[in-house]
Amino acid sequence: MKNKHVDIIPIGDIDDRVLQRLAITVDRCFGYPCRINEAWEIPSYAYNPDRKQYYSTLILKELCGGVKNDSIRTIGVTSLDLYIPIFTFVFGEAQLESHCAIISLSRLRQEFYGLRSDDTLFMSRVEKEAIHELTHTFGLTHCYDVNCVMHASYTIGDTDIKSDQFCKLCNHTLLSKLEAMMKVI
Ligand SMILES: [Zn+2]
Ligand SMILES: [Zn+2]
């Protein structure tokens, strides 16, 4: 367990302040220090010219392909607008009980909705989405409690209603998953 890190991988150009803040949040939430990696280039292979968006699952696959030995989890952070075929867009994607997650900052900015920029709101959305997607990788599914960070977000309103905290049940489940990992690693 010791010396394991969460790898944060910027995909494209991401503001360092966002990455630093995320590193603190992820460490606080999951108990593993974060390592901010060199930025990846824009993944042109995932671009869909008809949708003018990037296919999230393809990028996730690349992230999973390059996992380091001392990495407990990897999260990709991009400003590109992501999609999976069944949805118009996604805020992020992760597979249950897997190693990698990805989040998109694109639709977390007020400017995307034609509104004046709001750094505090933007950052709180980034934190919620990152915690949410990483928690999927620890095996938790969606929660019915609208205030719980594991509640699904299909619109930015869903993200704003929920908090960055876990409900009692999700908190308990996550802690037992993290504890179980500490025993086997
Ligand atoms: Zn989810
Ligand atoms: Zn919950």
Q: Which domain range does residue 16 map to?
A: 5-184
The token duo for 23 is 């590193």
CB 3 within 8 A of CB 35: no
- Residue 2 has what pLDDT? 59
CB 56 within 8 A of CB 86: no
* CA 140 to ligand 1 center in whole angstroms: 9
The token duo for 37 is 């990696």
SS3 call for 31: coil
- Residue 66 has what pLDDT? 82
CA distance 7 to 23: 9
Candidates 93, 127, 129, 133; catalytic one = 133
DSSP letter for 11, please: E
Ligand nearest to the CA of 162: 2
User: What is the residue-averaged pLDDT of the chain?
Assistant: 95
CATH code of the domain in which 100 resides? 3.40.390.10
- Residue 185 has what pLDDT? 56
- Residue 75 has what pLDDT? 98
* CA 14 to ligand 1 center in whole angstroms: 23
When comparing pLDDT for 185 and 37, which is higher?
37
The token duo for 72 is 């407990």
Q: Any residues with CB less than 8 A from the CB of 137 and at least 6 apart, and which?
A: 73, 94, 95, 96, 97, 98, 99, 100, 101
Residues 166-185, mean pLDDT to the nearest whole number: 90
Examine the pLDDT at 45 and tell me if it is beyond 60: yes
To the nearest whole percent, how much of the chain has pLDDT over 90? 92
Residues 30-40, mean pLDDT to the nearest whole number: 96
- Residue 167 has what pLDDT? 98
Respond yes or no: is residue 133 known to be catalytic. Answer: yes
* CA 92 to ligand 2 center in whole angstroms: 18
- Residue 184 has what pLDDT? 66
Q: How many domains does the chain have?
A: 1
Residue corresponding to tokens 């990696």: 37
Residues 91-119, mean pLDDT to the nearest whole number: 96
